[in-house]
Amino acid sequence: AQSVTQLDSQVPVFEEAPVELRCNYSSSVSVYLFWYVQYPNQGLQLLLKYLSGSTLVESINGFEAEFNKSQTSFHLRKPSVHISDTAEYFCAVSDGPGSGGYQKVTFGIGTKLQVIP
Amino acid sequence: DAGITQSPRHKVTETGTPVTLRCHQTENHRYMYWYRQDPGHGLRLIHYSYGVKDTDKGEVSDGYSVSRSKTEDFLLTLESATSSQTSVYFCAISESQGVPGYGYTFGSGTRLTVV
């Protein structure tokens, strides 16, 4: 069975400071890992994903995440945050398609990033 | 989000009444999902569909039913709404067809309040 733990429910950080949002997962097989972002009153948007290959993945808006298999982690980082990064961030894990091709995805409970001016 | 719309966006209903939420996609994706989002629980899967008339239960399916008569529409029905079903409901689609990792595209959500 797969599961995701997001260790911090809220993370306040000053504008232009670095931030790390932590995510640990458990799975018995190879995994695919995702970070989604949810802005207020909106649905979730895919921020970045790890499928295979390079363990460091980047998004177009400066976030990056590193897949660490030995520590079963997929922490999200940004070296300098902006006010517009204020949102809730969800880590998710999938162990690939099951019967019928259904891709089971398990989400963490979310981390609210509050950027302080 | 482009390609996927949910209706209504907000609804208040009384306990015991039936409620139907609609998800419509224009992406021709095979897979569609209904999630509910609650504080402290994140997103939990209610039901999903892997094709027309092909649906299955998720982890919190009690009290919910779904139907998919066309590729583009996935309906979620609360047969007799209860206060515990007050939540924000999200529809999602994915194009995974045996190749994982595409990720989901989410709708904007329906905020349902049962009074």
Per-state percent for chain B, helix, strand, coil, to nearest 5 = 5, 55, 40
Across the interface, which of A90, A101, A105 has its CB nearest the CB of B50?
A101
The answer to whether the Cβ–Cβ distance between B99 and A97 falls below 8 Å is yes
pLDDT band of residue A54 (cuts 50, 70, 90) is confident
Q: What was the pLDDT predicted at B98? A: 45
- Say if residues B9 and B108 touch (Cβ distance below 8 Å): yes
pLDDT band of residue B96 (cuts 50, 70, 90) is low
**Chain segment B35-74, per-residue pLDDT in tens:** 999 988 889 999 999 889 999 999 899 999 999 999 999 9
**Chain segment A34-44, per-residue pLDDT in tens:** 999 999 888 99
- Report, as an integer, the average pLDDT of A87-99: 82
The answer to whether the Cβ–Cβ distance between B98 and A51 falls below 8 Å is no
Between residues 59 and 98 of chain B, which touch chain A (CB distance below 8 Å)?
90, 92, 94, 96-98
Q: What was the pLDDT predicted at B44? A: 93
